[in-house]
Amino acid sequence: MADQNDSSSETDLRRCTECGQQYSIQAYLSSAAHYFAAPYNYEHGCEKYCLACWLGIGPLDIDSPC
């Protein structure tokens, strides 16, 4: 029985349930860690939504006619 937990934990890719975009919690933790705490509390939504959707500025919300 092969244990492949190591490889799966390195590629922590998730798909946003809002916009369908793939994202990595690990990447957010390293580049935008402050969003996981108050007042953003992204830690509560990081498993379902990408950071952009959680903040309300996701691709689906950005529709500027320019």
53 binds Zn ion (CB under 5 A): yes
Give min distance, CB of 54 to Zn ion, in A: 8
Rg of the chain taking only CA atoms, in angstroms: 14
Three-point CA angle 28, 21, 9, nearest 5°? 50
Applying the rule CB under 5 A, the residues between 14 and 43 that interact with Zn ion are 16, 18-19, 21
The identity of residue 28, as a single letter, is Y
Give min distance, CB of 30 to Zn ion, in A: 19
Q: What residues make contact with Zn ion under the rule CB under 5 A?
A: 16, 18-19, 21, 50, 53, 58
